[in-house]
Structure formats: structure tokens, C-alpha cells
């Protein structure tokens, strides 16, 4: 029996309507449009309304992806949500949207690899399809980082935004689909990006809240260096695993954390910046949602054509990283 190759059948994305500009932030903390633009490339970010949760964002992106794929929710075998900001510890956000979608046949779980969660989930789910264990799956990257951030900390609050992106996966009918996928982690660097309180190590207490330990802490320069040191090699290995050379790659969709990181990747890989998808100016860093949001926009704007070779590359807290290589089409 020939096993199928998994491919993306449809995409969806959603960003909440409320926008926070650099000028808005300059009225909240000691920062400026000039500093944020020069150091990060970010101009605006979308922030979830007080009544919007991660599953609300995820649901809209998921419905769009199912419609684009022409797949009915009840035909899904699996729902996976990549997120570091679930609605609650449990039930998983994937279970919440499985119910709201009516995906009654599907298994459902969340996957946590911080900003790399969507690409981790895409690779794992594609392998399940390729192994014949499941046929059709929904993979979502959704975050409301605005709920985790300290809005008085200018080092982190200027970077983040909320959003969701989704992909419906199924077996390819041709030579389309995933040709390579690699995941990795360096747990020894876990301290550079973390939320110290709220888990079993430090349950939420008044003292933890007063010390803001339930908020995200980040050593920005350390994250920057880890990304620039790790991701070029990861992309090279993923492209080699697919059996391609770098100049055969039409488009790279990197995690949108900082424009300077993307520029450093382009320079190290010796790939022109024009072959990278960049939308950080509009959304900031949306963690697990950043790559599906960027891929969705690239497809919608006509930048992606059937048969194109595309590489997705993510990194984030953990320290985690993941990349996968696709021939676009279904």
C-alpha cells in the first residue's frame, strides 16, 4: 500500500478588529514610534476585546479554513490547537472548538511549544496522515498574548499582538504536500522566555501577582541571539531533507518576532528579503498564530502558486524551533 503525503487543503485566519498603534503605546509606557519601528519593524498590533478568548479567535479561523478546504467539521479525525494562551488549563482549547464546530468524530488536544506550536502541530499531524493513522485534520495556531503580558513593561508589551490562523490537512492527490519537517528544542535556555507563576511550581498567590510573576518575562537579546544562531541551520537541514537546494525555494514564511531577526536570516541564508513573507508591521508577534496568519495573507495576495516550494520556520520559548517544507497545492 502506498501511503499518502499530507497537504494543506484550506487556510483561514483572524485578527481581532481592535488595533493598538505605536502612538497608542507611547501614551501608555515610555516608548516611541521611532524606537519600536527601528528595533522591531512593528507599527500596529490587533488586541482581543474583553469578551474574546483564544478559542473565539481560533473558531473563526477554523471555520474559514474548513470552508476553503470544502471539508465538513463532522468529517475531521483530529483537531489540534497550538497555543501558549489557552482559554483555561483544561479542557483543552481544541476540545472547546471541537464542540463549537460540531467535529463530533474528531480527537482533540492542545500542543504547547510557545511560538513554535503551530509548526510543531503541523508536522506531527502531517506525519499521522502520512502514516495512514488519520485522514483529515484541523491544525490551529491561536493566541491572546495580550492577557499574559505586563502592559507596564515596555520591553515586552510593544512586541505582541493577538490572532489566529488555521489549516485543514488531508491526503494529497498529486505531488503536493509536506516534503520535510524537523522539530528541535534547547530546554537549557528555558529561562529566557517564561511565565514563572500559575503552574505547579508556583501556583498563583497574592505575592506572585504583586511581583508580576504571572506575566511573561523575556530576555529579548538572548531570544534574538538564539533565533539567529539556530534558524538558518534548521532551514538548511529542512530544505536538504526535502531534497531541494535553497535557490529552489520560492518563499520562506518565518515566525514574525522582529524584522531585524528576519533580515539577519535572509542575510545568513543569502536569500533576498523579497522571498520572505513579512507582515509583522501589522500584527506584531502573535506567537503560534504568526506563521499561519502570514501564510494565509501570502496565499490571499496571490504570492503563492501551485507547485511553489515553501518553507515555514518557527522559534519560541522553550527554547523551541521547527521548520517544514511544502510543495503548494492539493
Kind of pairing, strands 217-218 and 107-111?
unpaired
Query: Of all helices (H) and strands (E), which one includes residue 232?
Result: helix 220-242
Is 46 part of the annotated catalytic residue set?
Answer: no
Q: Which of 43, 100, 135, 154 binds ligand ACO (CB under 6 A)?
A: 154
x/- string (CB under 6 A) for ligand ACO, residues 118-147? ---------------------------x--
Q: Which of 18, 35, 183, 202 binds ligand ACO (CB under 6 A)?
A: 35
Query: Of all helices (H) and strands (E), which one includes residue 6?
Result: strand 6-14
Determine if 39 is a binding residue for ligand ACO (CB under 6 A): yes
- Residue with Cβ nearer ligand ACO (130 or 183): 183
Cβ neighbours around 234 below 10 Å, total: 19
- Residue with Cβ nearer ligand ACO (49 or 151): 151
**Least gap, CB of 125 to ligand ACO (angstroms):** 24
CA 27/CA 280 separation, integer angstroms: 21
Catalytic residue among 22, 46, 157, 255: 255
CA 38/CA 256 separation, integer angstroms: 15
Which residues from 193-232 bind ligand ACO, rule CB under 6 A? 193, 216, 218, 220-221, 223-224
CA 64/CA 70 separation, integer angstroms: 10
Backbone angles phi, psi at 62, to 5 degrees: -65, -45
**Least gap, CB of 281 to ligand ACO (angstroms):** 14
Among the candidate windows 35-43, 121-129, 164-172, 242-250, which touches ligand ACO by CB under 6 A?
35-43
Among the candidate windows 53-61, 154-162, 297-305, 306-314, which touches ligand ACO by CB under 6 A?
154-162
Contacts of 113 (CB under 8 A, 6+ apart): 82, 120, 183, 185, 316, 318, 320, 322
Contact (CB, 8 A) for 217 and 196: yes
Positions marked active-site:
115, 255, 285
List residues binding ligand ACO (CB under 6 A).
31, 35-36, 39-40, 115, 145, 154-156, 158-160, 193, 216, 218, 220-221, 223-224, 257-258, 285, 287
Amino acid at each position: 500500500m502506498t501511503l499518502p503525503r499530507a497537504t494543506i487543503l484550506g487556510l483561514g485566519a483572524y485578527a481581532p478588529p481592535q488595533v493598538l498603534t505605536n502612538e497608542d503605546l507611547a501614551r501608555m509606557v515610555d516608548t516611541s514610534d521611532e524606537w519600536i519601528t527601528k528595533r522591531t519593524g512593528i507599527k500596529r498590533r490587533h488586541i482581543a476585546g474583553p469578551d474574546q478568548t483564544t478559542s473565539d479567535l481560533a473558531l473563526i479561523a477554523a471555520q474559514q479554513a474548513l470552508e476553503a478546504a470544502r471539508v465538513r467539521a463532522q468529517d475531521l479525525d483530529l483537531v489540534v490547537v497550538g497555543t501558549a494562551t489557552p482559554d483555561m488549563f483544561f479542557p483543552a482549547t481544541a476540545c472547546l472548538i471541537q464542540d463549537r464546530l460540531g467535529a463530533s468524530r474528531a480527537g482533540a488536544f492542545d500542543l504547547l511549544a510557545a511560538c513554535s506550536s503551530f509548526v510543531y502541530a503541523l508536522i506531527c499531524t502531517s506525519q499521522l496522515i502520512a502514516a495512514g493513522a488519520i485522514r483529515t485534520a484541523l491544525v490551529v495556531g491561536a493566541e491572546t498574548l495580550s492577557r499574559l503580558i505586563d502592559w507596564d513593561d515596555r520591553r515586552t508589551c510593544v512586541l505582541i499582538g493577538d490572532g489566529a490562523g488555521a489549516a485543514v490537512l488531508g491526503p494529497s492527490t498529486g505531488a503536493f504536500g509536506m516534503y520535510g519537517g524537523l522539530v528541535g528544542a534547547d530546554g537549557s535556555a528555558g529561562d529566557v522566555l517564561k511565565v514563572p507563576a500559575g503552574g505547579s511550581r508556583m501556583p498563583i498567590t497574592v505575592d506572585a501577582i504583586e511581583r508580576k510573576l504571572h506575566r511573561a518575562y523575556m530576555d529579548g537579546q538572548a531570544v534574538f541571539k538564539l533565533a539567529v544562531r539556530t534558524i538558518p541551520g534548521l532551514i538548511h537541514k529542512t530544505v536538504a531533507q526535502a531534497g531541494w537546494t535553497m535557490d529552489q525555494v520560492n518563499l520562506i514564511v518565518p515566525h514574525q518576532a522582529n524584522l531585524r531577526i528576519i533580515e539577519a536570516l535572509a542575510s545568513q541564508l543569502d536569500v533576498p528579503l523579497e522571498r520572505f513573507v513579512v507582515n509583522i508591521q501589522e500584527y506584531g508577534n502573535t506567537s503560534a498564530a504568526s506563521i499561519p496568519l502570514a501564510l494565509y495573507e501570502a496565499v490571499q495576495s496571490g504570492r503563492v502558486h501551485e507547485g511553489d516550494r515553501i518553507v515555514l520556520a518557527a522559534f519560541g520559548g522553550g527554547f523551541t524551533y521547527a521548520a517544514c517544507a511544502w510543495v503548494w497545492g492539493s
